[in-house]
Every structure is written in C-alpha cells, then in structure tokens.
Amino acid sequence: MHAGIAESFRDKIVLITGASSGIGEEMACQLARAGAVLTLAARRTELLESLAGKIRAAGAVEPLIVACDVTRDADPQHAVDETVRLRGRLDIVIANAGFGVVGNFAKLSVEDYRRQFETNVFGVLRSLKAALPEVAKTRGQLVILGSVAGWTASPGASPYAMSKFAVRALANSITPELAVMGVRVTLISPGFVESNIRRVDNQGQLHADAAEPMPQWLVAGRVGAVEQMLRAIARGQREVVVTGHGKLFVALERFAPWVLRAAARRMAATRGGYRTEPKSG
C-alpha cells in the first residue's frame, strides 16, 4: 500500500464483517499493517483467531474478534456495541460479508433467493443501520462490497446479481442522504477476485477442496485488488470498479449492452446456462 494511503488509516477504528477469509481477510491484513485498529466479525471465529494471530505476530494492534452472523438481527449491533465499548468510537465499517447462490432459474426455489438476500442485502442493511449512529459521531465512512454483477447480470446467477443490484441501488440512494450528516459511502464493485466465494454452495457452506471454476487468467490477485479497494476508501470515492475485466464489463453494459446480451444468449445455450454448485473432493 502506498505510504500516503496507509497514513489515512492510521489509528482508525475499523469494523469488517466477513473478515474470516477472502477479500475481508486481506483487507484486515493490509489495514493492520497501515496502523488501523480492527474489529474482525464473522461466523467462523476459529478462522478469525488464526487471522488475529498473524496480525499480532506482525506487530500490529491486537484485533477485537466478534462472532457475527449478519442474517441475525442482533449480531451486527453487538459487533458495533463491542467495538465502541472497547475502542471508544467507530470510524469505518466495511460491510463485506456475502456469498453467491447460483443455478438455473427453473430449478431454484424462492427460498434460495430469500437466503441470498438475507446475507447479501439484509446483512449489509443490518450492518449499516447498526453502525450509522456511531459512524455519524466521527463523521466516518460506510463501505459496501458490491460486485460487477450489480451492473451486469449473467445467466445462472440471478439470485446473486439481484442482491448486488440491490446493494448498488442502496449505495446510490443513501450516499447523498448521509453526506448531509458528514458520512461518506463507498461502494466497491469487483470482478472476479481470488477468494473462496466460488467455493461456497447455495446453503452458504464452504467446500475448501473445490476447484476454482473460473479460468485463472480471469481471476485477479487478492493483494493488488484489495490495494485498489483501500485506495478508493481512503479517497472517499463514491464507487470503484476493481479488475480490468470488471471495468470492461461495466463499460460494455453502459455503452454497448447488446454485446453482453448476445454473450448471455450463448452462455444460456451451453450447459443449461448456469454453473453448478461447488463440490468438495
């Protein structure tokens, strides 16, 4: 991370949901090196303990660990309350927790869509609503992890795309509202980034041994992608699209949407138009 960007996070109190792996884990590592004081929130506290050990070994401030399932109303509030109780304030909240439900529309149930929204939409909403009163006191920042899928939807990913379109709409709506309160909102819209999200099944369970379904050349490295995200947060950008292919997809959606529609028709004609859930082994 550039020294100037790192300096902007020094001594900031930062809460990250979904911090146990992937983008959230890498954000925690880079922010800790920059001198931020972290609260790590996720369901899998054993992974948070391991991450906290790495941060501690690197000489950074010991993170606070909070068990948090964003689908439960009380959990995000508890994470915020514990942070303020032990740290005294809250400057930045990164609503990162999420996963992807995939499959052919005809085979998915309404419950599949509801499960997707409980984490990716209402989980974000719970986190932001819990944090806002405290972040407003510090005139801080709310960060939402969206996706390029919130710009352009592909066959076989309708629940995930719907959820990311929803949080993009949320970000666009609340950014001017919260600016009046002195609170900045940053939406991060990455393309394919190295993480475990594509190894999580439709029930939200991780299959660590599952193969990465995307070709390697299309998946951006986690370290560089997170550096771009943190640069955007430090600068208070309204939205940042991360990865070269992500920027290309968004540009096509805005200026040549027929190209993506034609590609989607071809995708739908092959293998039923959807990718299957990850399987272990």
48 beta partners: none
Catalytic residue among 9, 117, 151, 160: 160
DSSP H or E run through 41? strand 37-42
- Residues 6 or more apart whose CB falls under 8 angstroms from that of 98 comprise 18, 119, 120, 123, 124, 145, 163, 197
- Rounded to 5 degrees, what angle do the CA atoms 24, 37, 167 make? 40
Looking at this protein, which amino acid is placed at residue 270?
A: T
What is the rounded end-to-end Cα distance, in angstroms, of the chain?
36
- Rounded to 5 degrees, what angle do the CA atoms 257, 258, 263 make? 100
Distance (Å, rounded) from C-alpha 161 to C-alpha 150?
Answer: 6
Q: Is 274 a catalytic residue?
A: no
| Helices of type H across the chain | 3-7, 22-33, 45-57, 74-87, 110-120, 122-138, 158-179, 222-235, 244-255, 257-268
Kindly list the catalytic residues: 160
